[in-house]
Copies of this chain bind each other. A is one copy, B any other.
Amino acid sequence: MKIGIIGASGYGGLELIRLLHNHPEVQRIVLFTSSEEGKVFSHKYTHLLNIYDQRLQKIEPSQLSEFDCVFSSAPAGVASQLIPPLLGKGTKFIDLSGDFRLVDSEVYKKWYKKEPPEQSAIEQSVYGLTEWNEEKIRNAQLIANPGCYPTAVLLALLPLLKANLIHSNQLIIDAKSGISGAGNQPNKMTHFSETNENTAIYKIHQHQHIPEIEQMIGTFTNGRSPITFNTHLVPMTRGILATSYAAVCDGFTEDDLVSCLKETYAMHPFVRIITETDKFGTNQVYGSNYCDIHVKVDPRTNRATIVSIIDNLVKGAAGQAIQNMNVQFDLAQTTGLTHVPSFI
Protein backbone atom coordinates (compact mmCIF):
# COMPACT_ATOMS: atom_id res chain seq x y z
CA MET A 1 0.00 0.00 0.00
CA LYS A 2 1.04 3.52 -0.75
CA ILE A 3 0.06 6.03 1.90
CA GLY A 4 -0.05 9.81 1.94
CA ILE A 5 -0.17 11.92 5.08
CA ILE A 6 -1.34 15.52 5.06
CA GLY A 7 -0.45 17.49 8.18
CA ALA A 8 2.45 15.25 9.11
CA SER A 9 3.99 17.81 11.44
CA GLY A 10 1.13 17.86 13.92
CA TYR A 11 0.82 15.37 16.72
CA GLY A 12 -1.80 13.34 14.90
CA GLY A 13 0.55 13.16 11.95
CA LEU A 14 3.54 12.21 14.02
CA GLU A 15 1.59 9.42 15.63
CA LEU A 16 0.39 8.12 12.25
CA ILE A 17 4.01 8.09 11.13
CA ARG A 18 5.10 6.25 14.25
CA LEU A 19 2.45 3.56 13.90
CA LEU A 20 2.47 3.14 10.11
CA HIS A 21 6.23 2.65 10.07
CA ASN A 22 5.73 -0.87 11.42
CA HIS A 23 2.52 -1.68 9.58
CA PRO A 24 3.25 -4.83 7.58
CA GLU A 25 1.10 -3.89 4.57
CA VAL A 26 2.45 -0.38 4.08
CA GLN A 27 5.15 -0.11 1.46
CA ARG A 28 5.50 3.62 1.05
CA ILE A 29 4.59 6.73 3.03
CA VAL A 30 4.73 10.22 1.57
CA LEU A 31 4.47 13.28 3.79
CA PHE A 32 2.68 16.41 2.61
CA THR A 33 2.90 19.92 3.92
CA SER A 34 1.29 23.23 3.18
CA SER A 35 4.21 25.34 4.35
CA GLU A 36 7.53 23.55 4.59
CA GLU A 37 7.94 22.09 1.14
CA GLY A 38 11.33 20.52 0.50
CA LYS A 39 12.35 20.30 4.13
CA VAL A 40 13.91 17.01 5.20
CA PHE A 41 11.46 15.74 7.80
CA SER A 42 14.13 14.35 10.13
CA HIS A 43 15.78 17.77 10.18
CA LYS A 44 12.58 19.15 11.64
CA TYR A 45 12.06 16.19 13.97
CA THR A 46 15.45 14.72 14.78
CA HIS A 47 13.91 11.76 16.59
CA LEU A 48 13.02 10.46 13.09
CA LEU A 49 16.62 10.43 11.83
CA ASN A 50 17.31 7.34 9.73
CA ILE A 51 13.58 6.58 9.80
CA TYR A 52 11.93 9.41 7.87
CA ASP A 53 14.71 11.23 6.04
CA GLN A 54 12.47 12.07 3.10
CA ARG A 55 11.53 15.63 2.13
CA LEU A 56 8.12 17.13 2.78
CA GLN A 57 6.10 17.37 -0.43
CA LYS A 58 3.82 20.14 -1.56
CA ILE A 59 0.18 19.08 -1.64
CA GLU A 60 -0.73 18.55 -5.28
CA PRO A 61 -4.37 17.44 -5.28
CA SER A 62 -4.03 15.81 -8.67
CA GLN A 63 -1.28 13.53 -7.41
CA LEU A 64 -3.15 12.33 -4.35
CA SER A 65 -5.08 9.88 -6.48
CA GLU A 66 -1.93 7.82 -6.88
CA PHE A 67 -2.22 6.78 -3.27
CA ASP A 68 -4.22 3.88 -1.91
CA CYS A 69 -5.06 5.81 1.21
CA VAL A 70 -4.52 9.41 2.30
CA PHE A 71 -4.76 10.48 5.93
CA SER A 72 -5.40 14.11 6.71
CA SER A 73 -4.51 15.35 10.16
CA ALA A 74 -4.63 19.03 9.32
CA PRO A 75 -6.63 21.38 11.57
CA ALA A 76 -10.38 21.75 11.11
CA GLY A 77 -11.22 23.67 7.96
CA VAL A 78 -8.51 22.22 5.71
CA ALA A 79 -9.82 18.81 4.72
CA SER A 80 -13.31 20.24 4.19
CA GLN A 81 -11.95 22.16 1.21
CA LEU A 82 -9.24 19.81 0.04
CA ILE A 83 -10.87 16.40 -0.01
CA PRO A 84 -14.34 16.73 -1.63
CA PRO A 85 -13.05 17.34 -5.18
CA LEU A 86 -10.85 14.27 -4.92
CA LEU A 87 -13.53 11.78 -4.00
CA GLY A 88 -14.49 9.06 -6.44
CA LYS A 89 -11.07 8.61 -7.98
CA GLY A 90 -10.14 5.46 -6.14
CA THR A 91 -8.16 6.86 -3.25
CA LYS A 92 -9.59 6.31 0.18
CA PHE A 93 -9.46 9.26 2.57
CA ILE A 94 -9.38 9.25 6.33
CA ASP A 95 -9.77 12.66 7.93
CA LEU A 96 -8.77 13.08 11.56
CA SER A 97 -10.32 16.54 11.92
CA GLY A 98 -13.93 17.31 12.79
CA ASP A 99 -14.79 18.47 9.27
CA PHE A 100 -16.89 15.51 8.13
CA ARG A 101 -18.20 14.19 11.41
CA LEU A 102 -21.38 16.22 11.75
CA VAL A 103 -24.17 15.40 9.32
CA ASP A 104 -25.92 18.69 9.88
CA SER A 105 -24.01 21.60 8.33
CA GLU A 106 -25.67 24.10 10.60
CA VAL A 107 -24.44 22.28 13.65
CA TYR A 108 -20.91 22.28 12.23
CA LYS A 109 -21.08 26.00 11.57
CA LYS A 110 -22.34 26.71 15.08
CA TRP A 111 -19.76 24.69 16.99
CA TYR A 112 -16.72 24.99 14.68
CA LYS A 113 -17.37 28.51 13.42
CA LYS A 114 -16.11 27.53 9.98
CA GLU A 115 -17.66 26.90 6.61
CA PRO A 116 -18.85 23.29 6.33
CA PRO A 117 -17.77 21.04 3.47
CA GLU A 118 -20.16 20.55 0.58
CA GLN A 119 -23.21 18.45 1.39
CA SER A 120 -22.44 15.62 -1.03
CA ALA A 121 -19.10 15.00 0.64
CA ILE A 122 -20.71 14.84 4.05
CA GLU A 123 -23.16 12.33 2.70
CA GLN A 124 -20.41 10.14 1.36
CA SER A 125 -18.48 10.22 4.61
CA VAL A 126 -18.75 7.51 7.24
CA TYR A 127 -18.22 8.11 10.94
CA GLY A 128 -15.23 5.96 11.80
CA LEU A 129 -16.04 4.63 15.23
CA THR A 130 -14.80 1.26 14.11
CA GLU A 131 -16.59 -1.04 16.54
CA TRP A 132 -19.94 0.54 15.64
CA ASN A 133 -19.68 1.17 11.93
CA GLU A 134 -17.57 -1.62 10.55
CA GLU A 135 -19.74 -2.48 7.56
CA LYS A 136 -20.08 1.08 6.35
CA ILE A 137 -16.39 1.73 6.91
CA ARG A 138 -15.50 -1.25 4.75
CA ASN A 139 -16.96 0.46 1.71
CA ALA A 140 -16.29 4.07 2.53
CA GLN A 141 -14.24 6.38 0.39
CA LEU A 142 -14.12 9.01 3.10
CA ILE A 143 -13.95 8.32 6.78
CA ALA A 144 -14.56 10.96 9.39
CA ASN A 145 -12.31 9.66 12.14
CA PRO A 146 -13.92 10.31 15.54
CA GLY A 147 -12.71 12.89 18.02
CA CYS A 148 -10.65 11.73 20.96
CA TYR A 149 -13.26 12.46 23.62
CA PRO A 150 -16.20 11.01 21.64
CA THR A 151 -14.26 7.79 21.09
CA ALA A 152 -13.80 7.24 24.81
CA VAL A 153 -17.34 8.31 25.69
CA LEU A 154 -19.27 6.55 22.92
CA LEU A 155 -17.57 3.18 23.25
CA ALA A 156 -18.61 3.17 26.90
CA LEU A 157 -22.15 4.51 26.60
CA LEU A 158 -23.54 3.20 23.32
CA PRO A 159 -23.97 -0.42 24.43
CA LEU A 160 -25.79 0.61 27.59
CA LEU A 161 -28.01 3.11 25.81
CA LYS A 162 -28.81 0.72 22.98
CA ALA A 163 -29.81 -1.96 25.50
CA ASN A 164 -31.86 0.53 27.50
CA LEU A 165 -29.91 -0.14 30.67
CA ILE A 166 -29.26 3.53 31.40
CA HIS A 167 -31.36 6.62 30.86
CA SER A 168 -30.28 8.94 28.09
CA ASN A 169 -31.78 12.08 29.55
CA GLN A 170 -29.51 12.69 32.51
CA LEU A 171 -26.10 11.96 31.04
CA ILE A 172 -23.25 13.84 32.63
CA ILE A 173 -19.78 13.29 31.26
CA ASP A 174 -16.68 14.59 32.98
CA ALA A 175 -13.59 14.08 30.83
CA LYS A 176 -9.91 14.58 31.64
CA SER A 177 -7.21 14.79 29.00
CA GLY A 178 -3.47 15.02 28.75
CA ILE A 179 -2.07 18.13 27.10
CA SER A 180 -1.10 16.57 23.77
CA GLY A 181 -4.75 16.83 22.80
CA ALA A 182 -4.20 20.56 22.49
CA GLY A 183 -1.77 20.02 19.62
CA ASN A 184 1.73 21.22 18.86
CA GLN A 185 1.17 24.97 18.76
CA PRO A 186 2.69 26.67 21.80
CA ASN A 187 0.20 28.90 23.62
CA LYS A 188 -1.08 29.73 27.08
CA MET A 189 -3.06 26.48 27.26
CA THR A 190 0.04 24.40 26.63
CA HIS A 191 2.76 26.49 28.32
CA PHE A 192 4.58 24.18 30.70
CA SER A 193 4.84 26.48 33.71
CA GLU A 194 1.11 27.22 33.70
CA THR A 195 0.06 23.66 32.88
CA ASN A 196 2.28 21.62 35.15
CA GLU A 197 0.97 21.22 38.71
CA ASN A 198 -2.38 22.41 37.46
CA THR A 199 -5.65 20.65 36.77
CA ALA A 200 -7.99 22.96 34.90
CA ILE A 201 -11.42 22.97 33.34
CA TYR A 202 -11.85 24.71 29.98
CA LYS A 203 -14.58 25.38 27.42
CA ILE A 204 -17.33 24.65 29.94
CA HIS A 205 -20.43 23.46 28.03
CA GLN A 206 -18.76 24.70 24.82
CA HIS A 207 -16.59 21.87 23.55
CA GLN A 208 -17.08 21.08 19.86
CA HIS A 209 -17.19 17.36 20.67
CA ILE A 210 -20.60 17.79 22.32
CA PRO A 211 -22.63 17.66 19.08
CA GLU A 212 -20.54 14.74 17.87
CA ILE A 213 -21.40 12.71 20.94
CA GLU A 214 -25.04 13.74 20.84
CA GLN A 215 -25.38 12.87 17.16
CA MET A 216 -24.16 9.32 17.73
CA ILE A 217 -26.14 8.84 20.92
CA GLY A 218 -29.17 10.13 19.06
CA THR A 219 -29.10 7.14 16.74
CA PHE A 220 -30.08 4.93 19.67
CA THR A 221 -32.48 7.19 21.50
CA ASN A 222 -35.62 8.96 20.46
CA GLY A 223 -34.46 12.37 19.47
CA ARG A 224 -31.40 13.87 21.05
CA SER A 225 -31.17 14.39 24.75
CA PRO A 226 -28.68 17.13 25.38
CA ILE A 227 -25.75 15.97 27.43
CA THR A 228 -23.64 17.80 29.95
CA PHE A 229 -20.05 17.35 28.84
CA ASN A 230 -16.98 19.02 30.30
CA THR A 231 -13.30 18.67 29.66
CA HIS A 232 -10.29 19.16 31.89
CA LEU A 233 -6.59 19.39 31.21
CA VAL A 234 -4.40 17.37 33.56
CA PRO A 235 -0.61 17.64 33.70
CA MET A 236 0.38 14.67 31.60
CA THR A 237 1.07 14.31 27.90
CA ARG A 238 -1.13 11.42 26.77
CA GLY A 239 -4.35 9.85 27.89
CA ILE A 240 -8.03 10.51 28.27
CA LEU A 241 -10.18 9.32 31.14
CA ALA A 242 -13.90 9.97 30.75
CA THR A 243 -16.13 9.55 33.78
CA SER A 244 -19.75 9.24 32.70
CA TYR A 245 -22.68 9.36 35.06
CA ALA A 246 -26.09 7.91 34.22
CA ALA A 247 -29.24 6.87 35.98
CA VAL A 248 -29.73 3.11 35.73
CA CYS A 249 -33.05 1.97 34.33
CA ASP A 250 -35.30 0.25 36.83
CA GLY A 251 -34.57 -3.34 37.56
CA PHE A 252 -31.04 -3.51 36.26
CA THR A 253 -27.89 -4.12 38.24
CA GLU A 254 -24.17 -3.67 37.89
CA ASP A 255 -23.93 -7.22 36.62
CA ASP A 256 -26.34 -6.40 33.82
CA LEU A 257 -24.27 -3.46 32.72
CA VAL A 258 -21.03 -5.42 32.86
CA SER A 259 -22.56 -8.30 30.92
CA CYS A 260 -23.91 -5.97 28.28
CA LEU A 261 -20.50 -4.39 27.76
CA LYS A 262 -18.73 -7.73 27.68
CA GLU A 263 -21.15 -9.19 25.17
CA THR A 264 -21.08 -6.14 22.95
CA TYR A 265 -17.33 -6.20 22.65
CA ALA A 266 -16.69 -9.94 22.88
CA MET A 267 -15.47 -10.06 19.29
CA HIS A 268 -13.80 -6.65 19.27
CA PRO A 269 -10.11 -6.91 20.15
CA PHE A 270 -9.53 -3.28 21.16
CA VAL A 271 -12.22 -2.82 23.78
CA ARG A 272 -11.68 -4.47 27.13
CA ILE A 273 -14.00 -4.54 30.13
CA ILE A 274 -12.07 -4.35 33.39
CA THR A 275 -14.00 -5.65 36.38
CA GLU A 276 -11.59 -5.96 39.30
CA THR A 277 -9.37 -2.97 39.95
CA ASP A 278 -8.48 -0.66 42.85
CA LYS A 279 -7.23 2.15 40.67
CA PHE A 280 -8.27 2.50 37.06
CA GLY A 281 -6.12 4.91 35.12
CA THR A 282 -4.88 5.93 31.72
CA ASN A 283 -1.49 4.23 32.05
CA GLN A 284 -3.43 1.00 31.56
CA VAL A 285 -3.71 1.73 27.82
CA TYR A 286 -0.70 4.04 27.28
CA GLY A 287 0.73 3.74 23.77
CA SER A 288 -1.84 1.16 22.66
CA ASN A 289 -5.07 1.12 20.67
CA TYR A 290 -7.16 -0.21 23.56
CA CYS A 291 -10.20 1.42 25.05
CA ASP A 292 -10.72 -0.02 28.52
CA ILE A 293 -14.04 0.37 30.32
CA HIS A 294 -14.92 -0.03 33.98
CA VAL A 295 -18.42 0.35 35.39
CA LYS A 296 -19.85 0.50 38.88
CA VAL A 297 -23.46 0.95 39.99
CA ASP A 298 -24.06 2.68 43.31
CA PRO A 299 -27.00 1.02 45.08
CA ARG A 300 -27.40 4.16 47.23
CA THR A 301 -28.30 6.30 44.23
CA ASN A 302 -29.02 3.76 41.51
CA ARG A 303 -26.65 5.73 39.32
CA ALA A 304 -23.82 4.21 37.34
CA THR A 305 -20.29 5.54 37.06
CA ILE A 306 -18.94 4.42 33.71
CA VAL A 307 -15.25 5.06 33.21
CA SER A 308 -13.43 4.70 29.91
CA ILE A 309 -9.80 5.30 29.07
CA ILE A 310 -7.87 5.63 25.85
CA ASP A 311 -4.55 6.94 24.63
CA ASN A 312 -5.84 10.07 22.94
CA LEU A 313 -3.21 9.90 20.19
CA VAL A 314 -3.77 6.20 19.43
CA LYS A 315 -7.36 4.98 19.84
CA GLY A 316 -8.36 8.65 20.03
CA ALA A 317 -6.68 9.57 16.72
CA ALA A 318 -4.00 7.78 14.70
CA GLY A 319 -4.58 4.25 15.96
CA GLN A 320 -8.28 4.25 15.24
CA ALA A 321 -7.55 5.83 11.84
CA ILE A 322 -5.29 2.88 11.00
CA GLN A 323 -7.85 0.46 12.40
CA ASN A 324 -10.31 2.01 9.95
CA MET A 325 -7.81 1.71 7.12
CA ASN A 326 -7.41 -1.96 7.98
CA VAL A 327 -11.16 -2.43 7.66
CA GLN A 328 -11.26 -0.54 4.37
CA PHE A 329 -8.56 -2.76 2.93
CA ASP A 330 -9.90 -6.05 4.32
CA LEU A 331 -7.05 -6.53 6.73
CA ALA A 332 -7.43 -7.82 10.26
CA GLN A 333 -8.30 -4.83 12.44
CA THR A 334 -5.26 -5.45 14.61
CA THR A 335 -2.78 -5.32 11.73
CA GLY A 336 0.08 -3.07 12.80
CA LEU A 337 -1.71 -2.21 16.03
CA THR A 338 -0.65 -4.97 18.40
CA HIS A 339 1.19 -2.68 20.81
CA VAL A 340 1.12 -3.77 24.42
CA PRO A 341 0.25 -0.85 26.74
CA SER A 342 3.46 0.38 28.28
CA PHE A 343 1.94 0.98 31.76
CA ILE A 344 5.18 2.63 32.87
Give me the interface of A with B, judged by CB distance under 8 Å. 11, 14-15, 17-18, 21-22, 43, 45-51, 170, 172, 174, 176, 178-180, 182, 184, 186-202, 204-205, 226-228, 230, 232-239, 241, 243, 245, 269, 272, 274, 276-287, 292, 294, 296, 298, 300-301, 303, 305, 307, 313, 338-344
Contacts and interface: CB of A to CB of B under 8 A. Distances in A.
A287 to B, nearest CB: 7
A303 to B, nearest CB: 5
A179 B196 contact: yes
A243 B272 contact: no
Nearest to A243: B174
A48 to B, nearest CB: 7
A22 B172 contact: no
A284 B199 contact: no
A234 B191 contact: no
Contacts of A194: 184, 283, 343-344
A227 B226 CA distance: 22
Contacts of A172: 172, 245, 303
Contacts of A296: 204-205
A286 B340 contact: no
A274 B176 CA distance: 21
Given A200-B241, A278-B202, A282-B200, A305 B230 contact: yes
28 contacts: A46-B274, A46-B284, A47-B343, A49-B292, A50-B272, A172-B245, A178-B197, A179-B196, A186-B188, A186-B191, A189-B279, A191-B191, A191-B192, A197-B283, A198-B283, A199-B241, A200-B279, A200-B280, A200-B282, A202-B279, A202-B280, A205-B296, A226-B298, A228-B303, A230-B305, A234-B235, A238-B344, A313-B344
Contacts of A301: 226-228
Chain copies in complex: 4
Given A192-B179, A228-B301, A344-B180, A199 B287 contact: no
A193 B22 CA distance: 24
A193 B199 contact: no
A193 B273 CA distance: 24
Contact of A283 (B47, B205, B300, B344): B47
A260 B306 CA distance: 33
B187 A280 contact: no
A285 B245 contact: no
A316 B323 CA distance: 32
A198 B45 contact: no
A11 B283 contact: no
A192 B196 contact: yes
Scoring A197, A279, A292 by chain B CB atoms within 10 A of each residue's CB, the highest score goes to: A197
Contact of A179 (B178, B193, B241): B193
Given A186-B187, A197-B283, A205-B296, 13 more contacts: A14-B344, A15-B342, A172-B172, A179-B193, A194-B283, A196-B236, A199-B234, A200-B282, A201-B305, A201-B307, A204-B298, A228-B298, A238-B344
A271 to B, nearest CB: 10
A250 to B, nearest CB: 17
A13 to B, nearest CB: 11
Contacts of A287: 287, 342
